[in-house]
Chain A
Amino acid sequence: MMKIKSILIATMAIVASAMTFTSCSDDDDVENNYTAYQSAVDTQVQAQKKNSKAILLVAFGSTWQQAYDAFDTTLAEYKATFNGYDVYFSFSSAICINRAAAAENTAARNFYAPNFWLHALGNAKYNEIIVQSMQVIPGEEYSRVINYIKDFANNSLGDLDDRYLSKVTLKLGTPLLNNVEDVANTARVINSLYQAQAAKGVVAFMGHGNPDSYDTYKANIRYTQLEEALQTYSPNYFVGTVDMPGNYKQDVLERMKEAGINSGTVNTYPLMSIAGDHAHNDMAGEGEEYWDASEEDSEDNSWYEFFTHKGYSVKSNLKGLLEVSQIRQLWINHTKNPVELEDYYHSMYPEE
């Protein structure tokens, strides 16, 4: 019996010690993570710094290879164009940043978030920084770009050199369709590219757009303005969106019908900087997965299936705007003619 009791005690001792072993802390020390991460970006900037002026390109980001290729081409072209500037590329989507950096069997890419890049550029004491928005319209995403600049200029973390900040020149490269003049320029370039197609059939662009609930800066109006501008060249141009109320594919169809276009070819193009999910699926998706006849206007129905079922012959074109050199040039022109930022606290584009 004594033996059994001692086994019992031994068992309890083992269990107690096992529980002690395993009850390690719930909390990792992450206090210094932010500064550690920042210093990694600082190190990269210091290693790359060749000039006293920098350009930071800010895109939402993507996880698609085709998009990476477009970003690579853009970055290379910027580097070639802007002598005397160091050029950096940034994503604003955390998930896109994380995954691009972690992929094992493909080139790892560091698209740091804009705030870290800006902070590192500040630490590296660049005299001039141009932040170029890679957005199409001055909408929701663009408002975030402005916020990053505000935070930087206001030394939001308090650890940048204030004297440096008071002297640094900050400039903002605006989105592709920033104002009415941009709309006219873009329409002219688009027409030069696609006028042959527009002569024979519809050329329809699919933009993203902002939903009603947050049509930041009322930027959705640019899509309507672009269609108007394009139609001065040819009545066969149309511009619709994924998210802008009143300008979905069915609204594009309605306008086509009003214009008397009831058949023929519809050439579709993404009006987005890259051709990712939206372009490949929402615009060009083919097959029964992209067509629900019981609800033709469903946003799950692709433009391809929608216009095909409406009796048109659809030709999907899957190049993002950054893959078209003439359009890339428009962004580059914005970077060449940036807006000087002096008062960071005003919303810059309250539209009428």
Chain B
Amino acid sequence: MNARKIVLLVFLASAFVVRGFAQNSVDTLREVVITGTGTEHLLKNAPVQTEVISRRVLDSFGAKSMEEILGSLTASFAFNEGDMGSQMQLNGLGNSYILILIDGKRIHGDVGGENDLSLIDPHNIDHIEIVKGAQSALYGSDAIAGVINIITKKHHDEGLYLENVTRYGSYNDLRQHNGIGVTSGKWSSMTNFQLQHSDGWQNTAEEYTEAMVVNDSRNKTVNKFTNWQIAERLTYQPVRNVDLYADGMYYTKGIYRPQNGRYPSCDVYTYDLMYRNASASVGGKWKVNTSGVVTFDVDWNKHAYYYMYTATTLTDGYDPNGNFTNYFPYFAGQKNLQSDQQRLMANLKGVFQLPYKNQLSAGLEYRYDYLNAPMRTATGTADDWTCALYAQDEFDWVKWFNLTTGLRIIENGGFGFHVTPKVSTMFSLGDFRLRLGWSQGFKSPDTKQLHYRYLHTMGSSTFFNMGNTSLDAQTSNYWSAGLEYRGERLTISATGYLNVLDNMITLVNVPVSEIPKDVTTSYLGDGSGEVVARQYRNMEDTKTYGVDVNVGYKINREFSLGGNYNYLDTEAHVYNSDHNRLDKVTIDGMAHHKWNAYVVWSHRFVPVYKLGLNLSTRGSSERFYQNNGNGKPFQIWRINTTHDFGREEKNTSYRVEMGMDNILGYVDRTIHPHHLGTTNAGRTVYATFSIKFRQGKRFINLISTKKQTDYDED
């Protein structure tokens, strides 16, 4: 990645400027959600329980990342930001069972099952909708633990919209966001740029290695990273009832590991990690008449993952004669493609009002996956496809009863035919809602699980990992019952859930003789065998169950408070490769209790100044792991202050945010590589400066955020 290009882009983007924070203090009673059914409903009347992180909450909280938003503003998520990703969990289940959507479109690309949450610009989020449990009838594969739908900010007003947000904090943490929106007649363009950088941090230099404890390990708790993204969306309205769009995005991320290690056994690395994503899509929406809407989308995505060598590295490759070797050299500065995942999706969907208070949603979806992994597949590439037909009916039988049923019929190139149903009911009584639901989820084997074929060296062990084209989809059944009260001031809900997953895919030891004949010679030398053969199989199962409680109370227009609590328990049968059997265990990273709470206050002292305060806390009980110790319980406090300058109705407005995370400076200094309860860096401070401008003259932005570091090392 070229730093000069980034600086140039930031400069270009911020040379324009920005305007008033639309104080979208949408009353929660008027909040509209879409994720649970794919159709718009008032939050209060949504047939499927939906949790919303509103624009107002996001504005007052001042988060730097998706990890911080989900980890701090709900009690259901847990993170373990580490070397390779965020290690997100929702009610005990990992990222590969969580479907993340941006404006209804699934995010693309993973490394080891972890999505890259930096693809989401925290300053471009309008609100977030979270629907827990299986949603595969509506959304297809992966929607097993739940669906997170990121709704981005939209700007439809005629004229020009410019926005600059610069956030800077401890550990050289920079978050930059620029938006340029132009609407002229039937055309509209929105350009977004974002950059995220952190130098990373080290909570402990103690590491257990070479059968001793060293106290000068260079391994960081969270590695240094930089990512940036530019996105463009064009919309065109040829006639009043038709909207068309085309959009595209380019993204790149580097994760930089320590380069000054001294222990080859633990902190010496010869490569960094790099991702490159791109996407392009076109689509449209046609309002057929007052009773129907048809949408279509065609969406292409690419996620490429590279090793960026920082020192001479021998790795698998082909010698000059084209023979396989374990010793193909790469030199510092060169990169090596590990995998390039590409996806093409086409979706046609209609929503129609039918007689007798029925609303029908029906759609067709086609998905094609392509994997290019030169050293990890038999032929270097692999692919897979899925066709799906889905329908959902929302039936308001009587005023107090809604029945929503849905079904998805899938045909997949690998596992064939599959059907996923869902049923949910909602009983209304005044401001009370009782929701009962049962739904099934599934997760298609990914192209790696189907087609990977590569030699994997871990420590002194060597494995030959094989995909399996006879894999079945992983499946789940989800039951939930929730009671909710949503009044003028008080909102309270309690939901119990049980999620049962089966056919979960894992690598299982198989006889060496199962290694395909054509690769036997290259991997097994004289045919004598040298490796442990493993193949993906549908082996494991898991049960997660618990209760979510959410409370919100609005004392007056300026003052509100609330909190969330999550109880979770898990039972899993996990494959034990040492003994070739299933062991009954709790899921790694599971905590029985998680909670968060907040107090928000704001006041406009004078017409040109408004102060906002947000004091929040979050915590978790002990997190359980099978190996390397449990994560310690923790509780972290955070304060954010917002300072809005300028009159609400003016074109230009300014905001300064200042805050401190982890006020009490709690740091989990558990020795590496044992598990941490939280990877939080300790007390950190930040300041954000934003300018927004709407339809006005040009303006020069001054990125005037001051660095403040007050990190307290105890």
Contacts and interface: CB of A to CB of B under 8 A. Distances in A.
Partners in one complex: yes
B268 A103 contact: yes
Contact of B312 (A8, A37, A277): A37
A157 B511 contact: no
A33 interface: yes
A18 B326 CA distance: 38
A65 interface: yes
Contacts of B325: 115
A140 B462 CA distance: 12
A100 to B, nearest CB: 5
B529 A216 contact: yes
Interface stretch (A91-99, A120-128, A188-196): A91-99
Given A4-B184, A98-B314, A104-B262, A18 B331 contact: no
A76 interface: no
A250 interface: no
Nearest to A104: B260
B314 A97 contact: yes
B263 interface: yes
B528 A214 contact: yes
Contacts of A106: 262-264
Interface stretch (B315-323, B468-476, B495-503): B315-323
20 contacts: A7-B160, A15-B232, A22-B5, A22-B252, A26-B337, A33-B328, A33-B330, A63-B268, A64-B264, A65-B210, A93-B457, A93-B460, A101-B270, A102-B310, A104-B260, A113-B314, A116-B327, A140-B530, A143-B530, A281-B211
Interface string A1-31: 1001101100110110011011100111010
A105 interface: yes
Most buried by A among B260, B315, B319: B319
A32 to B, nearest CB: 9
B14 to A, nearest CB: 12
Contact of B5 (A1, A21, A113, A158): A21
Interface of A: 1, 4-5, 7-8, 11-12, 14-15, 18-19, 21-23, 26-28, 30, 33-37, 60, 63-66, 93-106, 113, 115-116, 140, 143-144, 147, 156-158, 211, 213-214, 216-217, 276-277, 280-281, 284-285, 298-300, 347
Given A157-B320, A157-B321, A214 B529 contact: yes
A93 B525 CA distance: 16
Contact of B9 (A18, A98, A157): A18
A217 B528 contact: yes
Contacts of A64: 210, 264-265
Contact of B189 (A12, A96, A115): A12
Contact of A8 (B5, B187, B336): B187
Contacts of A144: 525, 530
A105 B262 CA distance: 5
Interface string B268-281: 11100000100000
A213 B529 contact: yes
B250 interface: yes
A123 B593 CA distance: 66
Contact of A11 (B191, B328, B329): B191
Interface string B234-252: 1000000000000010101
B215 to A, nearest CB: 14
Interface in B1-46: 2, 5, 9, 12
A352 B3 CA distance: 65
Nearest 9 CB-CB pairings of A with B: A214-B529, A280-B211, A105-B262, A99-B264, A37-B329, A63-B264, A102-B311, A63-B265, A94-B314
B334 interface: yes
B313 interface: yes
B184 A19 contact: no
A43 to B, nearest CB: 14
Contacts of A280: 210-211
A5 B159 CA distance: 10
Contact of B331 (A36, A65, A347): A36
Interface of B: 2, 5, 9, 12, 159-160, 180, 182, 184-185, 187, 189, 191, 210-211, 230, 232, 234, 248, 250, 252, 259-265, 268-270, 276, 304, 310-315, 319-321, 323, 325-331, 334-337, 340, 457, 459-460, 511-512, 524-526, 528-533, 578-579
A30 to B, nearest CB: 6
A102 B329 contact: no
A19 B277 CA distance: 12
A104 B185 CA distance: 60
Contact of A213 (B320, B335, B460, B512): B512
Given A60-B460, A116-B327, 18 more contacts: A8-B187, A11-B232, A12-B232, A15-B191, A22-B252, A28-B335, A34-B320, A34-B328, A35-B320, A37-B331, A66-B210, A93-B457, A96-B264, A97-B314, A98-B312, A102-B261, A298-B578, A298-B579
Given A143-B525, A157-B320, A213-B511, A8 B460 contact: no
Contacts of B262: 103-106
A104 B529 CA distance: 36
B680 to A, nearest CB: 26
Contact of B330 (A15, A27, A30): A30
A11 B232 CA distance: 9
A178 B265 CA distance: 30
B316 to A, nearest CB: 8
B529 A102 contact: no
Contacts of B184: 1, 4-5, 8
Nearest to B251: A22
A273 to B, nearest CB: 13
A4 B185 CA distance: 10
A102 B512 contact: no
Contacts of B159: 4
B526 A143 contact: yes
B156 to A, nearest CB: 14
B4 to A, nearest CB: 10
Contacts of B230: 15, 18-19, 22
Nearest to A37: B329
Which of the listed residues B314, B329, B337, B532 has the most CB atoms from chain A within 10 Å of its own CB? B329
A5 B183 CA distance: 9
A11 B319 contact: no
Contacts of B12: 14
A227 to B, nearest CB: 24
B319 to A, nearest CB: 6
A98 B319 contact: no
Contacts of A11: 180, 182, 189, 191, 232
Contacts of A66: 210
A113 B327 contact: yes
Contacts of A102: 261, 264, 268-270, 310-313
A23 B250 contact: yes
A299 B269 contact: no
A196 B336 CA distance: 56
B315 to A, nearest CB: 6
B314 A22 contact: no
Nearest to B258: A104
A94 B312 contact: no
Contacts of B191: 11, 14-15
A152 B529 CA distance: 22
B457 A95 contact: yes
